[in-house]
Amino acid sequence: MSSEKQLSLFDLSNNDDSPESTSDSDSDFSLIPTDVKIPIPSGTYQTMEQIAVHCNQCHRCELGENRTNAVIGRGNPKAEIMIIGEAPGQNEDEQGLPFVGRSGQLLDKILQSVELSSDDVYISNAARCRPPENRTPTLKEIEACKPYLLEQIRLVDPKIILLTGATAVKALTGDKRGITKIRGQWMEWEGRLCMPIFHPSYLLRNPSREPGKPKWLMWQDIQAVKQKLEELQSDNNSIDF
């Protein structure tokens, strides 16, 4: 399909918002813009399932060549906290779920330490397909996959976004600073509160819990996140008259 044809298919002005048109879009994989120069406009998808259907057929970047499963997300798609990682690894690629290996188990323990469960978070990645040899996704690959990430953020509409590691921070905000410099600092992106935190795999490599070490810093950060969430929730519950 030509780029022009693809572009016209994703022109919002031609979109019919009716459920019937959504279902048509689901079943016609030729509607996926395979040319990375073609944007996927905000509002293209109504559900995570639609994003999953398209990503499993997507070849906007070369990572689509070798995937077993595109990895979309896990957790509550209406959660108040969204966690964004880097890219799927081998376990994630095989199971089609993000953060399912040792890193995922550690992430779940970190959340549990402040009484957050998988129902309180939605977890996704900057890239939806596994890079070969688990390398870091390139900027080109991240940019190709970003429209899906932006659509997921729009659908979840989280109060707080946690960015695990420098790649996730760079992918979403463009901030290229090292994670040790910016972890634990609140930043705003598109009107949303974000906090960069260490990637759990970094904590697996640095297991010390001594004050000042990465695990201890993560403990400070996740407590700050829980506190901020409670503040935001109590603001929402305040009497407005």
Q: Residue 153 interacts with ligand SF4 (CB under 6 A)?
A: no
End-to-end Cα, the chain, rounded Å:
56
Minimum separation from the CB atom of position 143 to ligand SF4 (A): 9
Q: Where does residue 22 rank: exposed (0-12), middle (13-18), buried (19+ CB within 10 A)? A: middle
Distance between CA atoms of 205 and 81, rounded to whole angstroms? 25
145 near ligand SF4 (CB under 6 A)? yes
Instruction: Single out the residue of 100, 94, 29, 32 nearest to residue 67, CA to CA.
Output: 94
With binding defined as CB under 6 A, does residue 52 bind ligand SF4? no
Tell me how long the chain is.
Answer: 241
- Which amino acid, residue 22? T
State which of residues 40, 63, 195, 203 lies at the interface with ligand SF4 (CB under 6 A): 63
Per DSSP, 131 falls in state P
The answer to the question of residue 70 lying near ligand SF4 (CB under 6 A) is: yes
Identified binder of ligand SF4 from the candidate list 61, 81, 82, 155, rule CB under 6 A: 61
Residue 7 or 224 having the CB closest to ligand SF4: 7
What type of residue is 205? R
Q: How far is CA 229 from the centre of its chain?
A: 19
Is 97 a binding residue for ligand SF4 by CB under 6 A? The answer is: no
**Backbone phi, psi, residue 16, to 5°:** -100, 120
Whichever of 63 and 166 has its CB closer to ligand SF4, that residue is: 63
| Region near ligand SF4 per CB under 6 A, out of 112-120, 142-150, 167-175, 198-206 | 142-150
Task: Select from 53-61, 90-98, 194-202, 207-215 the region that touches ligand SF4 (CB under 6 A).
Answer: 53-61
Find out whether 10 and 40 touch, Cβ atoms under 8 Å. Answer: yes
> Pattern 100-139, binding to ligand SF4, x per CB under 6 A?
---------------------------xxx----------
Question: Does 55 participate in binding ligand SF4 (rule CB under 6 A)?
Answer: yes
Q: Does 72 bind ligand SF4 (CB under 6 A)?
A: no
What SS3 state is found at 223? helix
Distances from the Cα of 222 to the Cα of 128, 156, 184, 217, angstroms: 25, 20, 8, 9
Which residues in this chain contact ligand SF4 in the complex, by CB under 6 A?
55, 58-61, 63-64, 70, 127-129, 141, 144-145, 148
